[in-house]
Structure 1
């Protein structure tokens, strides 16, 4: 990325089902959900949103091999997206096992995201 313009952060939780992808997608959506970048197009090469670069950093507590990178990329509406995975986040008890929600145990997964936007 030549020019870093914005960094947005978020957190996502999968309370039941132990699905690391769901938690990661929620973290990315949380990071971008409360932001608007109305002037971004004017600074991008050719004024084209497809020239925007988006680097997603995810801190995940487990199951890195099960993380669906394409689902994370699909959560972002524009740009050339890269995803970087690192250790972090949290596994903690949800306090209950709900088999009808897909629980294998009582853990909830928490993922932290940093979304860097530029060109």
Structure 2
């Protein structure tokens, strides 16, 4: 990316089910949910959102090997997306195990995301 225009941050949690991809997608959606970039096309090649660069950084507490990067990328509606995964986030108790929700234990998975947008 030559020029970063926006950096958006978010947090996502999977309270029940211990699914790191669910928490990561929620973190990305939280980061981009309240934003609009009406002028971004004016700086993109051919004024196309397909030429936007999107760098995602995910801080995950565990299960990096189970993170579905393709599903994570699909959470972003436009652009050429790259994903970097690092240690971080949090594991904490939900206080209850709900087997009907897919719980294997009482842990909540919390992922933090940074979404950089530019060209």
> Quick check: TM above 0.5?
yes
What number of residue pairs does the alignment pair up? Answer: 119
Is 1:24 matched with 2:24? yes
Q: What residue in structure 2 maps to residue 5 of structure 1? A: 5
Give the TM-score, by structure 2 length.
Answer: 0.99
Question: For the residues of structure 1 that align with 2:31 and 2:97, how far apart are their CA atoms?
Answer: 28
Cα distance in 2 for residues equivalent to 1:93 and 1:118: 37
Shift of 1:2: 0.6
Residue 45 of structure 1 deviates from its aligned partner by 1.2
Structure 2 residue matching 1:100: 3-state secondary structure: helix
Aligned to 1:91: 91
- Structure 1: stretches of 5+ with no match in the other structure: none
SS of 2:41's partner is helix
Instruction: Give the CA RMSD over aligned residues.
Output: 0.3
- Contiguous gaps of at least 5 residues in structure 2: none
Q: Distance in 2 between matches of 1:3 and 1:45?
A: 13
Between the aligned partners of 1:46 and 1:38, the Cα distance in structure 2 is 15
Q: Paired residue for 2:68?
A: 68
Structure 1 length normalisation: TM-score? 0.99
Q: What is the rounded CA distance, in whole Å, between the counterparts of 1:18 and 1:117 in structure 2?
A: 29
Residues 34-61 of structure 1, C-alpha deviation per residue, up to 9 Å, x if partnerless? Answer: 0000110111111111100000000000
